[in-house]
Structure 1
Amino acid sequence: MQVFSFDTEPRSRPTLGLVALQVDERIEADFRQLLPASVDLMVTRIPSGRDVTPQTLAQMEADLPQAAALLPGTVDFDVIGYGCTSGAAQIGPDRVASGLRNGARCTHVSEPVSALVAACRALGLHRLALLSPYVDTVSERLRAVLSHHGIETPVFGSFNEAEEARVARITPGSVARAARALAPAAPVSPVDALFLSCTNLNTLPVVPTLEREIGLPVLSSNLVLAWHMLRLSGASGLTLDCVLTSPSRKAALT
């Protein structure tokens, strides 16, 4: 056997970690579309129930450290994100952050709830039309957490589906039809933005069209999470251009 010498190089690119749900079929594809090539993304999975209930969501808190620990242990991550909107609302952003930090080394953490709050503050949004795929007991927790942060959801609709596998099969067309019914076009709309909740819901294909039709910002779980993680990392490349209806909004989010 011939043995060769080799050189090594330090890690110099922003590095993001993502804890995706075992049942999630959407978030990785969306992140590949949203994140620039200038950052590295490493993904692990966390056990999650077949049905989405407050109990199955709460169970993930115990599994967060172990899931995060399956990310490369030699990497100091700029940001680690937990990819579950309802789980973040049920467990609580602070407890999610603690669980992730107990499993991996990182400078910042995020999840869709904190990301949405940050995006709303950047854009000056206070009243959302919320579209959720889930049953009332799950959705009401999210609405209560948002209200605690000063974000009201006076307009709310749901597909009322508990099974994650069926949520992943909901078509973008179904999302668009429900969203149009929820959020009448500005200036008559009683809200100042539309939020499409759930990392496993196929929302990205319809976001630009919905924005043009209703004249309001349209945000989704994966969109705000990717943006927030990039912002926390100090990287550039995603300014939510595809969901901005004015240059002033674009400037606020860069």
Structure 2
Amino acid sequence: MHTQANEPQARQHLDLEYQLDQGIGYKAHIGMVVLDCDQTLSYEARAMLTLPGVALYESRIDSGDRGKQPLTADLLREVFNGLDLGIAQINSRRPSDVVALGCTSAAMVIGTGELERRVRNVHPNAAVTDPFKAILAALATLGSSKVGYISPYPDEVAGKMVKQIEDAGYPVPVQATFHRGSFVKEDAPYVSPESIASGVSRLVGIADVDTVVISCTQMRAASVIDDLERRTGKAIITSNQALCWHALRLAGYTDPVGGWGRLFMKS
């Protein structure tokens, strides 16, 4: 006996048992807030934090038309205006162990204490880091004593950051700036890693430093850290590297990770 083509067939249904584990982030849940104009941090963070047991979730916050305005300290104070919503949108299922905030210069201007307060309004138990806080932590961990500083910032912003680094106990005998008229802010994501490496080589050739800080989350410096440390003998700290390293350590992930300089080998 043949079944008619349009006659519904009986469908079997199975109830499946399952077990629960801790999910992707069984070692660390890291939330990251990135400015919508940042073209580098997300890429480099995923390269550095693609580790077993580490979950990285990010949100982006609207920089409005600030990305087209000259970079000043006053402008930087407005960068994290959308922070509360950005933090809430990182992951609605599970609060982050650590919230990492992108933008080195804005974090420096606003201040770590204020940023921590704002994060904990949303996630009271999260540890908090930002690139500038992470750079200072990296300098301490590496035992740095004389620092060379490179950035794409205008003098007002770079000068404030260098002063805060020195106030924290790390003399900066040489400072270098990527410079091309008034467009360097827009150019920052496009400065080649080779240009960054060349700038570091020039800097260490004229000054006695043991560490070089490459500031700005837009700078594509991660790929040249290892080679620069081998060639120059200096420790290299970048905004994105320091932020990712510090987030891992605050989350309790202490394993050394190769490929991203001396800092990632430190617990």
| Pairwise TM-score range, normalised by the shorter structure | 0.7 to 0.9
The structure-2 alpha-carbon separation of the partners of 1:250 and 1:83, relative to structure 1 and needing over 3 Å to count, comes to closer
Structure 2 counterpart of 1:33, from 47, 53, 65: 47
> Which residue in the other structure is 1:169 paired with?
190
1:141 aligns with 2:160: yes
Alignment partner of 1:76: what SS?
coil
1:151 aligns with 2:170: yes
Alignment partner of 1:41: what SS?
strand
The letter of the residue matching 1:213 is R
The structure-2 alpha-carbon separation of the partners of 1:7 and 1:125, relative to structure 1 and needing over 3 Å to count, comes to same
Structure 2 counterpart of 1:219, from 225, 230, 237: 237
* Aligned pairs (5 A) from 1:41-120: 41-48=56-63, 49-50=66-67, 51=69, 52-120=71-139
Pair member with larger Rg = 2
Q: Distance in 1 between matches of 2:164 and 2:158?
A: 10
Are the equivalent residues in 1 in contact too, given 2:152–2:185 (CA < 8 A)?
no
Q: Which runs of 5+ in 2 are unaligned?
A: 1-10
Are the equivalent residues in 2 in contact too, given 1:88–1:96 (CA < 8 A)?
yes
Q: Distance in 2 between matches of 1:60 and 1:214?
A: 35
1:19 aligns with 2:19: no
- With 70-79 and 221-230 compared, the bigger mean Cα shift is at 70-79
Alpha-carbon shift at residue 91 of structure 1 (Å): 0.5
> Which residue in the other structure is 2:146 paired with?
127
Q: Distance in 1 between matches of 2:32 and 2:220?
A: 18
* Aligned pairs (5 A) from 1:205-216: 205-216=223-234
TM-score after normalising by structure 1? 0.87
Q: Distance in 1 between matches of 2:235 and 2:57?
A: 29
Deviations 1:133-155 (A, max 9, x none): 11111111211221221122221
The structure-2 alpha-carbon separation of the partners of 1:232 and 1:98, relative to structure 1 and needing over 3 Å to count, comes to same
Are the equivalent residues in 2 in contact too, given 1:80–1:106 (CA < 8 A)?
no
Are the equivalent residues in 1 in contact too, given 2:147–2:170 (CA < 8 A)?
yes
Count of residues in Structure 1 that have an aligned counterpart in Structure 2: 246
Q: Distance in 2 between matches of 1:171 and 1:79?
A: 30
Deviations 1:51-106 (A, max 9, x none): 43212210024322222122223312110000111111111111111122223354
Deviations 1:208-250 (A, max 9, x none): 2211121111111111111110001011445465422xxxx77
- With 6-15 and 214-223 compared, the bigger mean Cα shift is at 6-15
> Which residue in the other structure is 1:9 paired with?
20
Runs (4+) of structure 1 moved beyond 6 Å?
Answer: 1-6
- With 39-48 and 6-15 compared, the bigger mean Cα shift is at 6-15
Are the equivalent residues in 1 in contact too, given 2:32–2:59 (CA < 8 A)?
yes
Q: Distance in 1 between matches of 2:121 and 2:103?
A: 18
Q: Distance in 1 between matches of 2:254 and 2:46?
A: 15
TM-score after normalising by structure 2? 0.83
Sequence identity, in percent? 26
The letter of the residue matching 1:220 is T
Alignment partner of 1:20: what SS?
strand
The letter of the residue matching 2:41 is I
Q: Distance in 2 between matches of 1:199 and 1:8?
A: 40
